[in-house]
Every structure is written in structure tokens, then in C-alpha cells.
């Protein structure tokens, strides 16, 4: 069966080639020709399927896609998609958990170590001709022996725990949505605690929850004030779950010691954002799951799901 799929995000040619390499024979990939979604809406007219990434899919996009049969997200964050409008038209929406776990878990460990080892400062100063062999010792730390608090203990939180255990960290977790106690937690010496106890006891607080009404900006001034002054915050989840102005104030005031952030309230981050000038913060541009390994795994899962739809079989990970 011949189908046309629009990739609803501006990417690079090499990314498009990876996508095409996993497409079923006879399918056509339509890629944005402009840098903004508003300038690309006319391309939606031929879409049988819409593959979502970062760009929002609102009612205007759906009106521009009269042939649309299904929306498949390449990730899991569907807060920018007009789900009520999809439901009204009987168009299913599915997400794709595949391909994110390893990359995000590894990136979480990367940010912890980068903040603890003052990696960006050491690298930047070295390139400027400054040899900080001694100057960073009193403010650099090891992960071994530290308490890592995981807020959210789903597939990614568990993958982080597994890796942190290998670094000999003490692991706490809080997840009120777990239906039963996880036997795997015992293998990593991970202990379930209340949210308040996690904040108070952790040297590192790492966030692994989706954006919902309950989690939006749930990390704010009261939560930072419960953390140790020596603690650091890691966010590889969603920018909306952290009150960014409150975080900036906490970092400036020394309420917490540092942060490693892959996501932000506004993306791309504005050039005047105070976080960009802080040497106790490590920043990356929402790339924790942005590896070619993850992309290939995602595309295999995406097209397997779209084939299920074409064949009249139940689709996986359906949201609408």
C-alpha cells in the first residue's frame, strides 16, 4: 500500500535519510521545506500519516490535513497535540516509548558527572590557557557514596538507578503511580521514600516524570528550600515541570549548589536566560534521546505501529 507521511518538524537531511531507511516500500516521506510550522501547513494536504516530533499539532494543522488517518509521535510528550480535535475526527494518536530509555538514562548520568566534575568550566578554562589542576578540587565531587533521588521510577528512572548503582551511589525514589513494589529495586539497593524525604536526603535530585496538570512547575521555591544546599538538580524530563525563575533564584542564592538541564520552559532557550551565565550549571539542547541509535530504534517502532494500523490491527501505545 502506498502512503504519504509528513514528518512534522524541520530536521536535517541525514535525519530524513535514517527515517527513509526504515520506511515500508512504496511509502513517501514529505519533509518541511521551511523553518516554521506556519510556513509548512500547505504540505499537510497530502498526508495520510503525520509523524510528530517537536512542532505542535493544533486545529489549524488538522484542518490542513483532510486525508489524515493517524498521528504517530516519535516520542512520548504529546502535550502540544490537539487531542480533542483528533478525537472529534476519529483520528488515533499513538506515542513511541521505544528508543528513549537508554539515551535519557545515559544522559542523566552524563549531566550528574559533568556538574560534579566541573567539566564545562575545566574544558573552557583549559582552552583559554588556564590550567585549573588545583582550583577545582574543593568544588568537585564523586558520584560514589552520594544519594541520588529519582522523582519518577518508570522505565527511565529504573534505567538511571541501574546505572547509578554501578557507580556505587545510594538510590532513593518516589513514584506515587507505581501499582506495586518493584522487585528490581532491591537489586540496585533502591529505597522508596516520600517526596519530602527524597528532597531532604538527596545529594542529587533527578526528575523523570511527564508534564501533567499535577507536575507542571511542581519543582519550585518550596521544593528547592527543602533540598540540601549542596544538592544539585538534574532534569532530562520536561522543562515545564520546573519553575525556571524559581530555579534561577535558588541557584543565585545558593539554596541549591548546581543543576544539569537538558530541557527548558522555553525551547530554544533565550540568549538572555541567566542560566547561560552560571558556571555551576551544565546545559544541553534537549538531546538526551537524540542519538542515531535511538532514532533508528524509534523509526522501526513507529513504522511497525503504522503498519499495524494499515493492516487493521490494534495499534500500540495509543493515546486517543
CATH number of 184's domain: 3.40.50.720
The count of structural domains within the chain is 2
Q: Are residues 49 and 119 in the same domain?
A: no
| Residue 247, number of CB atoms within 10 A of its CB | 25
* pLDDT higher than 90, residue 318: yes
Q: Are residues 63 and 202 in the same domain?
A: no
Q: Give the residue from 234, 279, 229 showing the smallest Cα distance to 118.
A: 279
Q: pLDDT tens-digit profile of 255-281?
A: 999 999 999 999 999 999 999 999 999
Q: Are residues 116 and 83 in the same domain?
A: no
Q: Are residues 163 and 55 in the same domain?
A: no
Whether residue 268 has a cis bond before it, omega within 30° of 0: yes
**Domain enclosing residue 160, as ranges:** 101-283
* pLDDT higher than 90, residue 181: no
Question: Cβ neighbours of residue 28 under 8 Å, at least 6 residues apart?
Answer: 2, 3, 4, 5
User: What are the grid coordinates assigned to 293, written together?
Assistant: 541509535
Residue 22 within a domain: yes
Q: Are residues 110 and 256 in the same domain?
A: yes
Q: Are residues 278 and 164 in the same domain?
A: yes
Q: What is the pTM of this model?
A: 0.94
Residue 320 within a domain: no
Residue 301 within a domain: yes
**Catalytic site residue 286?**
yes
Q: Are residues 205 and 264 in the same domain?
A: yes
**Catalytic site residue 238?**
yes
Q: Are residues 113 and 203 in the same domain?
A: yes
Residue 119 within a domain: yes
Please identify which of the residues 142, 252, 267, 318 carries the catalytic annotation: 267
Residue 317 within a domain: no
Question: Once rounded to an integer, what is the mean pLDDT over residues 284-296?
Answer: 97
Please identify which of the residues 10, 118, 208, 238 carries the catalytic annotation: 238
Q: Are residues 80 and 146 in the same domain?
A: no
Q: Are residues 119 and 255 in the same domain?
A: yes
* pLDDT higher than 80, residue 180: no
**Catalytic site residue 267?**
yes
Rounded-to-integer distance, Cα 189 and Cα 168, Å: 10
Residue 109 within a domain: yes
Q: pLDDT tens-digit profile of 108-167?
A: 999 999 999 999 999 999 999 999 999 999 999 999 999 999 999 999 999 999 999 999
Q: Are residues 56 and 145 in the same domain?
A: no
Q: pLDDT tens-digit profile of 192-235?
A: 999 999 999 999 999 999 999 999 999 999 999 999 999 999 99
Q: Are residues 50 and 90 in the same domain?
A: yes
pLDDT score recorded for residue 260 = 99
Please identify which of the residues 286, 296, 307, 308 carries the catalytic annotation: 286
Cross-strand pairs, 275: none
Instruction: Provide, rounded to the nearest whole percent, the portion of the chain with pLDDT above 70.
Output: 100
Residue 319 within a domain: no
Residue 64 within a domain: yes
Amino acid at each position: 500500500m502506498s502512503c504519504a507521511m509528513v514528518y512534522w518538524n524541520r530536521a536535517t537531511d541525514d535525519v530524513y535519510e535514517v527515517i527513509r531507511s526504515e520506511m515500508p516500500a512504496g511509502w513517501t516521506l514529505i519533509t518541511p521545506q521551511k523553518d516554521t510550522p506556519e510556513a509548512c501547513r500547505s504540505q499537510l494536504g497530502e498526508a495520510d500519516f503525520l509523524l510528530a516530533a517537536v512542532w505542535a499539532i493544533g486545529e489549524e494543522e488538522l484542518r490542513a490535513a483532510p486525508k489524515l488517518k493517524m498521528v504517530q509521535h516519535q516520542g512520548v510528550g504529546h502535550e502540544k497535540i490537539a487531542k480533542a480535535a483528533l478525537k472529534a475526527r476519529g483520528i488515533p494518536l499513538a506515542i513511541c516509548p521505544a528508543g528513549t530509555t537508554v539515551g535519557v538514562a545515559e544522559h542523566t548520568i552524563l549531566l550528574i558527572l559533568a556538574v560534579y566534575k566541573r567539566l564545562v568550566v575545566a574544558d573552557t578554562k583549559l582552552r583559554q590557557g588556564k590550567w585549573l589542576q588545583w582550583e577545582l578540587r574543593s568544588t568537585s565531587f564523586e558520584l560514589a557514596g552520594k544519594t541520588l533521588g529519582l522523582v519518577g521510577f518508570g522505565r527511565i528512572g529504573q534505567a538511571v538507578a541501574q546505572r547509578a548503582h554501578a557507580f556505587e551511589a545510594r538510590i532513593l525514589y518516589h513514584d506515587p503511580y507505581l501499582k506495586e513494589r518493584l522487585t528490581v529495586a532491591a537489586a540496585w539497593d533502591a529505597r522508596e521514600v516520600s517526596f519530602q524525604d527524597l528532597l531532604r536526603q538527596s545529594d542529587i535530585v533527578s526528575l523523570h516524570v511527564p508534564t501533567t496538570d499535577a507536575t507542571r512547575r511542581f519543582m519550585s521555591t518550596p521544593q528547592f528550600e527543602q533540598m540540601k544546599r549542596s544538592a544539585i538538580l538534574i532534569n532530562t524530563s520536561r522543562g515545564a515541570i520546573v519553575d525556571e525563575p524559581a530555579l534561577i533564584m535558588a541557584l543565585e542564592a545558593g539554596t541549591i549548589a548546581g543543576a544539569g538541564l537538558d530541557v527548558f520552559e522555553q525551547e530554544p532557550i533565550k540568549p538572555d536566560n541567566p542560566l547561560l551565565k552560571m558556571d555551576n550549571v551544565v546545559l544541553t539542547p534537549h538531546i538526551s534521546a537524540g542519538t542515531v541509535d535511538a532514532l533508528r530504534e524509534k523509526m522501526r517502532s513507529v513504522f511497525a505501529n503504522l503498519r499495524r494500523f494499515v493492516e487493521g490491527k490494534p495499534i500500540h501505545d495509543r493515546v486517543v
